[in-house]
Amino acid sequence: PVETVRGGVSENGWLKVEGTQLCNEAGEPVILRGMSSHGLHWFGQYAGSQSIQNTAEWGANLFRVAVYTGEGGYLSSPEAVREKAVSTVDAAIANDMYVIIDWHILSDGNPMSHVEEAEAFFDFMAARYGDNPAVIYEICNEPNGNVTWERDVKPYAQRVIPIIRTRAPQSVILVGSTTWSQDIHVAARSPLEGENLMYTLHFYAGTHGETLRQRIDSALAAGLPVFVSEWGTSRADGSGGVFLKESEEWLDFLDERGISWANWSLCDKNETSAALRPGTPPDRAWSE
Ligand code: DCB
């Protein structure tokens, strides 16, 4: 386990972005570290209260709720998946954690293809959680394929952010970019207007290294706040490795820059990005 500073919501309160740094209510730098769920509709058992509590006891002050849109997720069963998302967010809040509500586009690579569903989803979530300092909104996990920042992702953000802002005026909102949220250099040339916005950079330690780290440094230098809302110890396909040395190099880099992160993923799938061994019971404490 990575050493983390506990620093939950009761201690830090409302988050705000100052310059490129995520800060707490008192204006002091804060770093959030924790786990991302896998798809709630597949591995929801590891997004229950005992599993989340386990990660809190291991030092996490963040949990990410991956609401897959495609692959049998929200777009197929909106009510059931939304209900599961709500109970997961509530469980994270009950453990004094910050919690990211992640609209997990992936097979549907262009966020514009379901912008109306996204608007309705975030309107519902922000109505429920807009006055709760724990909740962070991630509006598009990983745009990919034939998608551009200017034509698709930025206009999408300009539609969804105002809907969240109506009900959650001060919450932190995370925005993805093209190439599976690796193109923060493109976003940096044409950033969004508004407060408390951060840009996600996703990496997989077995695939991505120096090039993406340099991108982060250039983005920070250009004034773009960066949040690593998903990274894995595997290759980009979720398997291979485990790439421990490369992961440590990444984590040191992020720590030195005060960048927050969520690790993919808290499930027992037989793949190396999964944090749990196959068959791990979701409803008990876990040994190392
Ligand atoms: C991202 C996605 C995430 C995906 C992981 C690992 O995708 F945000 O949903 O998780 O990274 O690939 C994997 C799960 C598998 C599941 C699969 C499809 O671990 O169990 O079967 O999603 O739902 C990325 C990230 C980067 C790149 C490609 C993908 N890349 N991708 O750089 O090429 O194709 O999914």
Distance from the CA of 232 to the center of ligand 1, in angstroms? Answer: 10
User: Is 230 designated active site?
Assistant: yes
Distance from the CA of 238 to the center of ligand 1, in angstroms? Answer: 6
Residues with CB under 6 A from ligand 1: 71, 106, 141-142, 180, 207, 230, 232, 236-238, 264, 269, 271, 273
To test the ligand 1 pocket, which listed residue (42, 207, 237) has its Cβ within 8 A of the most ligand atoms? 237
User: Is 195 designated active site?
Assistant: no
The pLDDT of residue 12 is 95
Q: Whole-angstrom Cα distance, residue 13 to residue 31?
A: 13
Q: Whole-angstrom Cα distance, residue 140 to residue 199?
A: 11
Q: Whose CA is nearest to atom 21 of ligand 1?
A: 238
Q: Which of 8, 1, 53 is nearest to 32 (CA)?
A: 8
Q: Whose CA is nearest to atom 5 of ligand 1?
A: 238
The pLDDT of residue 6 is 66
Q: Which of 141, 100, 98 is nearest to 118 (CA)?
A: 141
Which one is catalytic: 138, 142, 246, 271? 142
Which residues, 6+ apart, have CB-to-CB distance to 249 below 8 Å?
A: 205, 209
Q: Whose CA is nearest to atom 26 of ligand 1?
A: 236
Digit-by-digit pLDDT tens for the chain (288 residues) are 334 456 899 999 999 999 999 999 999 999 999 999 999 999 999 999 999 999 999 999 999 999 999 999 999 999 999 999 999 999 999 999 999 999 999 999 999 999 999 999 999 999 999 999 999 999 999 999 999 999 999 999 999 999 999 999 999 999 999 999 999 999 999 999 999 999 999 999 999 999 999 999 999 999 999 999 999 999 999 999 999 999 999 999 999 999 999 999 999 999 999 999 999 999 999 988
Q: Is 270 exposed, middle or buried (0-12, 13-18, 19+ CB in 10 A)?
A: exposed
pTM of the model: 0.98
Distance from the CA of 18 to the center of ligand 1, in angstroms? Answer: 31
CA 127 to chain centre: 20
Convert the pLDDT of each residue in 26-53 to its tens digit.
Answer: 999 999 999 999 999 999 999 999 999 9
The pLDDT of residue 4 is 46
Q: Whole-angstrom Cα distance, residue 266 to residue 46?
A: 6
Q: Whole-angstrom Cα distance, residue 219 to residue 150?
A: 17
Three-class secondary structure of residue 165 per DSSP: helix
CA 215 to chain centre: 19
H/E element, 233? none
Distance from the CA of 237 to the center of ligand 1, in angstroms? Answer: 5
Q: Whose CA is nearest to atom 2 of ligand 1?
A: 106
Three-class secondary structure of residue 44 per DSSP: helix
Are β-strands 226-232 and 197-200 bridged in parallel, bridged antiparallel, or unpaired?
parallel
Instruction: Tell me if 63 sits within 8 A of 96, measured CB to CB.
Output: no
